[in-house]
Amino acid sequence: MADRIDLKVGFACNNHCHFCVQGDKRLKWGAKPVAELRQVLEEGRPAADGLVFTGGEPTLRRDLPDLIAYARELGYKTIQIQSNGRMFAHKGYCKLVIERGANEFSPALHGHLAALHDYLVAAPGAWSQTVQGIRNLKSLGQYVLTNSVITKSNFRHLPELARLLTALGVDQFQFAFVHPTGTAGKEFSAVVPRMAMAAPYLMQALRLGQGAGRRVTTEAVPYCILPGYEDCVVEKYIPRTAVFDAECIIADYTKYRHEEGKAKGPDCRHCKFDVDCEGPWREYPERFGWEEFRPVHRAAAAKKARSAAR
């Protein structure tokens, strides 16, 4: 049984991200019937304390506040809205979903400048709305954890993005390496950077976040890419999660990542992180090979930790 439920309530979205993993699901799948969603909420609650409303863009559903209220009634303790953040620009809407029971907010911001973010999400004006949304949520005392996808267009600007997130008062931020499936798979060459090239910028952004006292994490970036920042690898903190997707239910998302989503290389068995590491999304080495992923040996890791401590 899962500790958390990720419930995709529909696949419509007002952004058109170049890195979207959902691809053309919005064309095939509409909003899920409310009866189906209520049934998932009821059946999941005995085991799960945590719930994430996601999609597509969940705030496009007019009945989202009612679903949140129902989840609260059922006793879910953490109710998160994972969103592109644009609806949060309306403070009245923020107040409504908070009053119904939402208590964690995960808006997505992918650039420090409007031009960069709006290009990546293919929606003019989106950056201003998402940034205003974060401001509104923080002014209402909410816990905000952002997600930013690392792409070819923004990886050099991750430190500036970290500075902006810190200035906005974001409590926790995550940098997720683009998953090359869906639209990101179709646009692979334009969207997916080499991980080793992104790593220095990513580590600088993590350092800035840590220096400001924020919780900072990465997703889909193996330990060997992040020497000194191994504690930022989010996979070891993700709770047991069931994902209610469009066409399937992933009962155990951790198992799915290990067995289908991610891949390990031929030399990984020599690495000190082999047991904990999930490796990159499998599509990455299928295109680029394994040369960037060098096993970390115990002695080398200890030496690095010693010199970092000096």
Q: Which residues bind ligand SF4 (CB under 6 A)?
A: 222-224, 264-265, 268, 271, 273-274, 277, 279, 293, 295-296
Instruction: Find the shortest distance in angstroms from Cβ 14 to ligand SF4.
Output: 36
Q: Please, which residue, 65 or 285, has the CB nearer to ligand SF4?
A: 285
Residue 197 CB, shortest distance to ligand SF4, in Å, is: 16
Cβ distance to ligand SF4 smaller for residue 88 or 284: 284
In the complex, minimum distance from the CB of residue 258 to ligand SF4, in angstroms, rounded to a whole number = 12
- Minimum CB separation of residue 301 from ligand SF4 in Å reads 10
DSSP string for the chain = --SEEEEE-----S---TT-SSTTHHHH--PPPHHHHHHHHHHHTTT-SEEEEESS-GGG-TTHHHHHHHHHHHT-SEEEEEE-SSGGGSHHHHHHHHHHT--EEEEB---SSHHHHHHHHT-TTHHHHHHHHHHHHHHTT--BEEEEEE-TTTGGGHHHHHHHHHHTT-SEEEEEE---SHHHHHTHHHHPPPHHHHHHHHHHHHHHHHHTT-EEEEES--GGGSTT-GGGBGGGTPPPEEEE-SS-EES-HHHHIIIIIB---TTGGGSTTTTT---SBTHHHHHH-STT-PPPPHHHHHHHHHHHH-
Query: Which CB sits closer to ligand SF4, 159 or 265?
Result: 265
Among residues 94 and 301, whose Cβ is nearest to ligand SF4?
301
Nearer Cβ to ligand SF4 (120/277):
277
Least distance in angstroms from the C-beta of 187 to ligand SF4: 24
Nearer to ligand SF4 by C-beta: 107 or 265? 265
Minimum Å distance from CB 78 to ligand SF4? Answer: 29
